[in-house]
Amino acid sequence: MTIQGWLRPDGRKGIRNTIVIAYLVECAHHVAREIHLPFREQGVHVIGFSGCFPNAHALRMMKRLGTHPNVGGMLICSLGCESFNRFDLAKHVAASGRPVKTIVIQETGGTRKSIDEGRAWIRAALEEISKVPRAPVALSELILGTKCGGSDATSGLTANPAMGRAFDYLIAEGAAGIFEETGELIGLENYMAERAVTRELGGAIVACMEKTARYYATMGHSSFAVGNAEGGLSTIEEKSLGAYAKSGAQPIAGLIKPGDVPPRGGLYLMDMIPDGEARWGFPSVNDNSELAELIACGAHMVMFSTGRGSVVGSAISPVIKVCANPDTYARMSDDMDVDAGRILAGAASVDEVGREIADLVRRIAAGAPTKSEALGHQEFVLNYKSFEPIGPACLPAR
Protein backbone atom coordinates (compact mmCIF):
# COMPACT_ATOMS: atom_id res chain seq x y z
CA MET A 1 0.00 0.00 0.00
CA THR A 2 1.40 3.40 -1.00
CA ILE A 3 1.33 5.98 1.79
CA GLN A 4 1.64 9.61 0.68
CA GLY A 5 2.50 11.96 3.51
CA TRP A 6 3.43 15.61 3.97
CA LEU A 7 7.15 16.38 3.91
CA ARG A 8 8.32 18.71 6.68
CA PRO A 9 11.43 20.89 6.50
CA ASP A 10 13.25 18.65 9.01
CA GLY A 11 12.76 15.63 6.75
CA ARG A 12 10.07 13.98 8.85
CA LYS A 13 6.77 13.10 7.20
CA GLY A 14 3.24 13.47 8.52
CA ILE A 15 0.17 11.39 7.73
CA ARG A 16 -2.09 14.38 8.44
CA ASN A 17 -1.69 18.11 7.69
CA THR A 18 -3.26 19.84 10.68
CA ILE A 19 -3.37 23.41 11.95
CA VAL A 20 -3.36 23.50 15.75
CA ILE A 21 -4.79 26.33 17.84
CA ALA A 22 -2.93 26.29 21.15
CA TYR A 23 -4.34 28.18 24.12
CA LEU A 24 -1.75 28.90 26.82
CA VAL A 25 -4.07 29.33 29.81
CA GLU A 26 -7.68 28.34 30.54
CA CYS A 27 -8.67 32.02 30.25
CA ALA A 28 -7.89 31.81 26.50
CA HIS A 29 -9.68 28.49 25.94
CA HIS A 30 -13.03 29.98 24.92
CA VAL A 31 -11.48 32.26 22.31
CA ALA A 32 -9.50 29.33 20.89
CA ARG A 33 -12.67 27.24 20.63
CA GLU A 34 -14.60 30.03 18.93
CA ILE A 35 -11.80 30.54 16.39
CA HIS A 36 -11.91 26.81 15.69
CA LEU A 37 -15.66 26.40 15.12
CA PRO A 38 -15.89 27.26 11.39
CA PHE A 39 -12.90 25.03 10.63
CA ARG A 40 -13.69 21.87 12.59
CA GLU A 41 -14.14 19.90 9.35
CA GLN A 42 -10.99 21.31 7.75
CA GLY A 43 -8.22 19.74 9.80
CA VAL A 44 -7.98 22.41 12.50
CA HIS A 45 -7.58 21.14 16.07
CA VAL A 46 -7.50 22.78 19.51
CA ILE A 47 -4.86 21.89 22.10
CA GLY A 48 -3.91 23.77 25.24
CA PHE A 49 -2.54 24.13 28.75
CA SER A 50 -4.92 25.35 31.43
CA GLY A 51 -2.48 26.42 34.14
CA CYS A 52 -1.43 30.00 34.80
CA PHE A 53 1.86 29.17 36.52
CA PRO A 54 4.97 28.30 34.47
CA ASN A 55 5.95 24.69 33.84
CA ALA A 56 8.98 23.62 31.79
CA HIS A 57 7.35 20.30 30.91
CA ALA A 58 4.28 22.02 29.43
CA LEU A 59 6.47 24.30 27.30
CA ARG A 60 8.52 21.36 26.06
CA MET A 61 5.37 19.41 25.22
CA MET A 62 3.88 22.34 23.31
CA LYS A 63 7.10 22.71 21.32
CA ARG A 64 7.02 19.02 20.37
CA LEU A 65 3.34 19.18 19.46
CA GLY A 66 3.70 22.38 17.43
CA THR A 67 6.42 20.73 15.35
CA HIS A 68 4.84 17.25 15.18
CA PRO A 69 5.06 15.76 11.67
CA ASN A 70 1.24 15.73 11.45
CA VAL A 71 1.12 19.49 12.15
CA GLY A 72 1.42 22.09 9.40
CA GLY A 73 1.12 25.29 11.47
CA MET A 74 0.17 26.75 14.84
CA LEU A 75 -1.99 29.62 16.08
CA ILE A 76 -1.01 30.54 19.65
CA CYS A 77 -3.82 31.98 21.75
CA SER A 78 -2.66 33.87 24.85
CA LEU A 79 -4.58 35.97 27.35
CA GLY A 80 -1.46 38.02 27.94
CA CYS A 81 -0.74 37.83 31.66
CA GLU A 82 -0.17 34.08 32.07
CA SER A 83 3.35 32.79 32.77
CA PHE A 84 3.63 30.53 29.71
CA ASN A 85 6.55 31.62 27.53
CA ARG A 86 4.64 32.35 24.33
CA PHE A 87 7.68 34.00 22.74
CA ASP A 88 9.85 30.87 23.08
CA LEU A 89 7.07 28.66 21.73
CA ALA A 90 6.46 30.87 18.68
CA LYS A 91 10.19 31.12 17.96
CA HIS A 92 10.55 27.34 18.10
CA VAL A 93 7.64 26.68 15.72
CA ALA A 94 8.80 29.40 13.31
CA ALA A 95 12.29 27.88 13.22
CA SER A 96 10.74 24.62 11.97
CA GLY A 97 9.50 26.41 8.83
CA ARG A 98 5.82 26.23 9.79
CA PRO A 99 3.45 29.23 9.74
CA VAL A 100 2.81 30.53 13.26
CA LYS A 101 0.97 33.47 14.76
CA THR A 102 0.38 34.64 18.32
CA ILE A 103 -2.85 36.36 19.35
CA VAL A 104 -2.72 38.12 22.73
CA ILE A 105 -6.31 38.76 23.75
CA GLN A 106 -5.51 41.65 26.08
CA GLU A 107 -3.58 43.40 23.29
CA THR A 108 -5.92 42.54 20.41
CA GLY A 109 -8.89 44.14 22.14
CA GLY A 110 -10.84 41.30 23.73
CA THR A 111 -12.90 38.30 22.69
CA ARG A 112 -14.60 39.37 19.44
CA LYS A 113 -11.56 41.06 17.90
CA SER A 114 -9.35 38.10 18.82
CA ILE A 115 -11.78 35.63 17.25
CA ASP A 116 -11.97 37.65 14.03
CA GLU A 117 -8.21 37.99 13.78
CA GLY A 118 -7.68 34.31 14.55
CA ARG A 119 -10.17 33.13 11.94
CA ALA A 120 -8.60 35.36 9.29
CA TRP A 121 -5.19 33.86 10.03
CA ILE A 122 -6.54 30.29 9.95
CA ARG A 123 -8.06 30.86 6.50
CA ALA A 124 -4.71 32.10 5.16
CA ALA A 125 -2.74 29.34 6.90
CA LEU A 126 -4.95 26.59 5.48
CA GLU A 127 -4.21 27.92 2.01
CA GLU A 128 -0.50 28.03 2.79
CA ILE A 129 -0.20 24.49 4.15
CA SER A 130 -2.18 23.10 1.19
CA LYS A 131 1.04 23.67 -0.75
CA VAL A 132 3.20 21.52 1.54
CA PRO A 133 4.95 18.95 -0.71
CA ARG A 134 3.78 15.34 -0.62
CA ALA A 135 6.17 12.42 -0.34
CA PRO A 136 5.93 8.63 0.00
CA VAL A 137 6.09 7.36 3.58
CA ALA A 138 7.69 4.02 4.40
CA LEU A 139 6.42 1.97 7.32
CA SER A 140 9.88 2.36 8.85
CA GLU A 141 9.23 6.13 9.11
CA LEU A 142 6.15 5.72 11.29
CA ILE A 143 5.99 6.04 15.08
CA LEU A 144 3.05 4.25 16.69
CA GLY A 145 1.68 4.40 20.22
CA THR A 146 -0.46 2.03 22.20
CA LYS A 147 -2.84 2.80 25.05
CA CYS A 148 -5.73 1.20 26.92
CA GLY A 149 -8.67 2.83 28.65
CA GLY A 150 -11.99 1.75 30.09
CA SER A 151 -10.47 -1.69 30.66
CA ASP A 152 -12.42 -4.72 31.82
CA ALA A 153 -11.72 -8.42 32.27
CA THR A 154 -11.68 -8.98 28.49
CA SER A 155 -9.05 -6.32 27.70
CA GLY A 156 -6.06 -8.46 28.67
CA LEU A 157 -7.49 -11.49 26.88
CA THR A 158 -8.36 -10.04 23.47
CA ALA A 159 -7.61 -6.43 22.46
CA ASN A 160 -4.33 -5.91 24.32
CA PRO A 161 -2.58 -9.08 23.09
CA ALA A 162 -3.91 -8.43 19.57
CA MET A 163 -2.43 -4.90 19.64
CA GLY A 164 0.81 -6.40 20.94
CA ARG A 165 0.84 -8.78 17.99
CA ALA A 166 0.24 -5.84 15.63
CA PHE A 167 3.23 -4.12 17.24
CA ASP A 168 5.32 -7.21 16.56
CA TYR A 169 4.36 -7.21 12.87
CA LEU A 170 4.87 -3.46 12.35
CA ILE A 171 8.12 -3.18 14.32
CA ALA A 172 9.51 -6.13 12.35
CA GLU A 173 9.01 -3.96 9.26
CA GLY A 174 10.97 -1.07 10.80
CA ALA A 175 8.33 1.02 12.60
CA ALA A 176 8.87 2.46 16.07
CA GLY A 177 6.36 1.48 18.74
CA ILE A 178 5.81 3.12 22.13
CA PHE A 179 3.98 1.52 25.04
CA GLU A 180 3.52 3.29 28.37
CA GLU A 181 1.21 3.36 31.39
CA THR A 182 4.04 2.44 33.75
CA GLY A 183 1.50 2.89 36.56
CA GLU A 184 -0.23 -0.20 35.17
CA LEU A 185 2.95 -2.27 34.75
CA ILE A 186 3.88 -2.56 38.43
CA GLY A 187 5.20 -6.06 39.17
CA LEU A 188 6.38 -6.66 35.61
CA GLU A 189 9.65 -4.73 35.81
CA ASN A 190 11.87 -7.83 35.77
CA TYR A 191 10.09 -9.24 32.71
CA MET A 192 10.63 -5.96 30.89
CA ALA A 193 14.27 -5.80 32.03
CA GLU A 194 14.85 -9.26 30.54
CA ARG A 195 13.61 -7.96 27.18
CA ALA A 196 15.91 -4.91 27.23
CA VAL A 197 18.61 -4.87 24.55
CA THR A 198 21.31 -4.13 27.16
CA ARG A 199 21.78 -4.89 30.84
CA GLU A 200 22.09 -1.16 31.56
CA LEU A 201 18.74 -0.45 29.91
CA GLY A 202 17.20 -3.23 31.96
CA GLY A 203 18.49 -1.57 35.12
CA ALA A 204 17.00 1.77 34.03
CA ILE A 205 13.62 0.08 33.49
CA VAL A 206 13.70 -1.45 36.98
CA ALA A 207 14.60 1.94 38.48
CA CYS A 208 11.74 3.57 36.54
CA MET A 209 9.27 1.04 37.92
CA GLU A 210 10.57 1.44 41.47
CA LYS A 211 9.95 5.19 41.12
CA THR A 212 6.46 4.43 39.83
CA ALA A 213 5.62 2.24 42.82
CA ARG A 214 6.90 4.91 45.25
CA TYR A 215 4.89 7.63 43.52
CA TYR A 216 1.62 5.71 43.66
CA ALA A 217 2.25 4.63 47.26
CA THR A 218 2.68 8.31 48.17
CA MET A 219 -0.52 9.22 46.35
CA GLY A 220 -2.35 6.38 48.10
CA HIS A 221 -3.95 5.09 44.92
CA SER A 222 -2.87 2.87 42.04
CA SER A 223 -4.03 3.09 38.44
CA PHE A 224 -7.15 1.06 39.14
CA ALA A 225 -10.61 2.59 38.81
CA VAL A 226 -14.08 1.60 40.00
CA GLY A 227 -15.04 0.96 36.40
CA ASN A 228 -12.23 -1.60 36.07
CA ALA A 229 -13.62 -3.55 39.03
CA GLU A 230 -17.18 -3.31 37.73
CA GLY A 231 -15.85 -4.75 34.46
CA GLY A 232 -14.48 -7.82 36.22
CA LEU A 233 -10.86 -6.93 36.94
CA SER A 234 -9.83 -8.07 40.40
CA THR A 235 -6.53 -6.32 41.19
CA ILE A 236 -3.87 -3.96 39.83
CA GLU A 237 -1.77 -7.09 39.19
CA GLU A 238 -4.39 -8.51 36.85
CA LYS A 239 -4.72 -5.14 35.12
CA SER A 240 -0.92 -4.93 34.81
CA LEU A 241 -0.75 -8.28 33.02
CA GLY A 242 -3.29 -7.05 30.50
CA ALA A 243 -1.49 -3.74 30.01
CA TYR A 244 1.79 -5.60 29.49
CA ALA A 245 0.23 -7.77 26.77
CA LYS A 246 -0.07 -4.79 24.43
CA SER A 247 3.73 -4.41 24.32
CA GLY A 248 4.04 -7.54 22.18
CA ALA A 249 7.21 -9.63 22.21
CA GLN A 250 9.87 -7.50 20.50
CA PRO A 251 13.05 -6.57 22.42
CA ILE A 252 12.79 -3.27 24.27
CA ALA A 253 15.12 -0.84 22.49
CA GLY A 254 14.85 2.17 24.80
CA LEU A 255 13.26 3.98 27.72
CA ILE A 256 11.94 7.47 26.93
CA LYS A 257 9.95 10.21 28.65
CA PRO A 258 7.14 12.42 27.28
CA GLY A 259 8.50 14.52 24.42
CA ASP A 260 11.42 12.20 23.64
CA VAL A 261 11.23 11.00 20.01
CA PRO A 262 12.46 7.46 19.28
CA PRO A 263 15.62 7.81 17.15
CA ARG A 264 14.99 4.65 15.13
CA GLY A 265 12.61 1.73 14.75
CA GLY A 266 12.01 -0.68 17.61
CA LEU A 267 9.98 -0.95 20.81
CA TYR A 268 10.19 1.78 23.45
CA LEU A 269 8.77 2.09 26.96
CA MET A 270 7.62 5.60 27.90
CA ASP A 271 8.05 6.61 31.55
CA MET A 272 5.07 8.86 32.29
CA ILE A 273 5.64 9.22 36.05
CA PRO A 274 7.11 12.61 37.06
CA ASP A 275 10.60 12.68 38.52
CA GLY A 276 11.29 13.98 42.01
CA GLU A 277 8.81 14.15 44.85
CA ALA A 278 5.13 13.45 44.27
CA ARG A 279 3.90 17.02 43.99
CA TRP A 280 1.84 17.11 40.80
CA GLY A 281 -1.05 14.89 41.85
CA PHE A 282 -2.00 11.81 39.88
CA PRO A 283 0.44 11.35 36.97
CA SER A 284 -2.28 11.12 34.33
CA VAL A 285 -5.69 12.39 35.31
CA ASN A 286 -7.36 10.68 32.36
CA ASP A 287 -6.59 8.75 29.18
CA ASN A 288 -6.26 11.86 27.05
CA SER A 289 -3.27 13.17 28.96
CA GLU A 290 -1.41 9.96 28.12
CA LEU A 291 -2.47 10.19 24.48
CA ALA A 292 -1.01 13.72 24.37
CA GLU A 293 2.29 12.44 25.79
CA LEU A 294 2.51 9.66 23.20
CA ILE A 295 1.80 12.17 20.43
CA ALA A 296 4.47 14.52 21.82
CA CYS A 297 6.90 11.62 21.32
CA GLY A 298 6.09 11.80 17.60
CA ALA A 299 3.41 9.10 17.42
CA HIS A 300 1.67 9.39 14.04
CA MET A 301 -1.26 7.40 15.43
CA VAL A 302 -2.23 5.49 18.57
CA MET A 303 -3.87 2.09 18.96
CA PHE A 304 -6.32 2.26 21.88
CA SER A 305 -7.98 -0.77 23.46
CA THR A 306 -11.15 -0.63 25.54
CA GLY A 307 -13.41 -3.20 27.14
CA ARG A 308 -15.98 -0.98 28.85
CA GLY A 309 -16.27 1.36 25.85
CA SER A 310 -14.17 4.51 25.75
CA VAL A 311 -15.23 6.96 23.04
CA VAL A 312 -12.29 9.40 23.09
CA GLY A 313 -10.06 10.33 20.20
CA SER A 314 -7.35 12.96 20.13
CA ALA A 315 -6.11 16.10 18.47
CA ILE A 316 -3.19 15.84 16.00
CA SER A 317 -2.89 12.03 15.61
CA PRO A 318 -5.58 9.47 14.74
CA VAL A 319 -6.70 7.01 17.43
CA ILE A 320 -7.61 3.45 16.40
CA LYS A 321 -10.17 1.93 18.78
CA VAL A 322 -9.79 -1.81 19.41
CA CYS A 323 -12.79 -3.14 21.34
CA ALA A 324 -12.06 -6.06 23.66
CA ASN A 325 -15.57 -7.02 24.70
CA PRO A 326 -18.04 -8.42 22.12
CA ASP A 327 -21.05 -7.07 24.05
CA THR A 328 -19.52 -3.59 24.13
CA TYR A 329 -18.80 -3.76 20.40
CA ALA A 330 -22.41 -4.72 19.71
CA ARG A 331 -23.59 -1.62 21.61
CA MET A 332 -20.92 0.85 20.47
CA SER A 333 -19.75 -0.24 17.02
CA ASP A 334 -20.04 3.33 15.71
CA ASP A 335 -17.08 4.25 17.93
CA MET A 336 -14.97 1.13 17.42
CA ASP A 337 -12.57 0.35 14.58
CA VAL A 338 -11.77 -3.29 15.39
CA ASP A 339 -13.83 -6.02 17.07
CA ALA A 340 -11.24 -7.98 19.05
CA GLY A 341 -14.03 -9.62 21.05
CA ARG A 342 -14.23 -12.17 18.24
CA ILE A 343 -11.20 -13.80 19.91
CA LEU A 344 -13.27 -14.44 23.05
CA ALA A 345 -16.04 -15.94 20.93
CA GLY A 346 -13.60 -18.21 19.08
CA ALA A 347 -14.35 -16.49 15.77
CA ALA A 348 -10.80 -15.19 15.25
CA SER A 349 -7.31 -15.76 16.64
CA VAL A 350 -4.99 -13.22 18.27
CA ASP A 351 -2.78 -13.48 15.17
CA GLU A 352 -5.68 -12.75 12.84
CA VAL A 353 -6.87 -9.70 14.77
CA GLY A 354 -3.28 -8.53 15.10
CA ARG A 355 -2.93 -8.68 11.31
CA GLU A 356 -6.23 -6.83 10.94
CA ILE A 357 -4.98 -4.02 13.21
CA ALA A 358 -1.65 -3.82 11.36
CA ASP A 359 -3.45 -3.58 8.02
CA LEU A 360 -5.73 -0.87 9.43
CA VAL A 361 -2.66 1.09 10.56
CA ARG A 362 -1.50 1.14 6.95
CA ARG A 363 -4.91 2.30 5.69
CA ILE A 364 -5.17 5.04 8.33
CA ALA A 365 -1.64 6.20 7.46
CA ALA A 366 -2.72 6.34 3.81
CA GLY A 367 -5.57 8.70 4.72
CA ALA A 368 -8.59 6.64 5.76
CA PRO A 369 -10.30 8.20 8.81
CA THR A 370 -10.64 6.36 12.10
CA LYS A 371 -14.06 6.19 13.74
CA SER A 372 -13.05 8.87 16.27
CA GLU A 373 -11.83 11.16 13.47
CA ALA A 374 -15.07 10.74 11.53
CA LEU A 375 -17.04 11.59 14.69
CA GLY A 376 -14.99 14.73 15.28
CA HIS A 377 -13.25 13.68 18.49
CA GLN A 378 -10.31 15.98 19.28
CA GLU A 379 -9.85 15.56 23.05
CA PHE A 380 -6.65 16.94 24.57
CA VAL A 381 -5.26 17.30 28.12
CA LEU A 382 -1.86 18.58 29.23
CA ASN A 383 -0.85 18.31 32.90
CA TYR A 384 1.69 19.91 35.17
CA LYS A 385 4.67 17.53 35.45
CA SER A 386 8.46 17.61 35.80
CA PHE A 387 11.08 15.31 34.32
CA GLU A 388 14.84 14.96 34.32
CA PRO A 389 16.53 14.15 30.97
CA ILE A 390 16.91 10.45 30.20
CA GLY A 391 20.29 8.90 31.03
CA PRO A 392 22.80 7.36 28.61
CA ALA A 393 21.60 3.82 29.35
CA CYS A 394 18.07 4.63 28.16
CA LEU A 395 18.83 4.76 24.41
CA PRO A 396 21.70 2.31 23.85
CA ALA A 397 23.37 2.36 20.46
CA ARG A 398 22.65 -0.69 18.33
Q: How many CB atoms lie within 10 A of CB 397?
A: 8
187-225 residue pLDDT tens: 899 999 999 999 999 999 999 999 999 998 898 877 766
Q: How many CB atoms lie within 10 A of CB 346?
A: 7
Contact 302, 144 (CB under 8 A): yes
Report pLDDT for 224: 63
Task: Report which residue type is found at 232.
Answer: G
CA dist., res. 347 & res. 327, Å (int): 14
Report the half-sphere exposure of 274 (CA within 13 A, side-chain side).
Answer: 21
Report pLDDT for 226: 67
Q: Which range among 31-45, 108-122, 214-228 shows the weakest confidence by mean pLDDT? A: 214-228
CA dist., res. 201 & res. 213, Å (int): 19
Residue 317 pLDDT class (50, 70, 90 cuts)? very high
Sheet holding 266-270, edge to edge: 252-256, 266-270, 176-179, 143-148, 301-306, 319-323, 338-339
Q: Which range among 68-82, 125-139, 164-178, 215-229 shows the weakest confidence by mean pLDDT? A: 215-229
Q: Given a cut of 90, is residue 242 above it in pLDDT? A: no
Q: Given a cut of 90, is residue 153 above it in pLDDT? A: no
Report pLDDT for 227: 66
Architecture in CATH for domain 4-135:
3-Layer(aba) Sandwich (3.40)
Q: What DSSP element (H or E) covers 263?
A: none
Residue 284 pLDDT class (50, 70, 90 cuts)? confident
The pTM for the full model equals: 0.96
Report pLDDT for 110: 98
Residue 375 pLDDT class (50, 70, 90 cuts)? very high
Average pLDDT, the chain: 94
From the list 345, 370, 368, 303, the residue with the least C-alpha distance to 154 is: 345
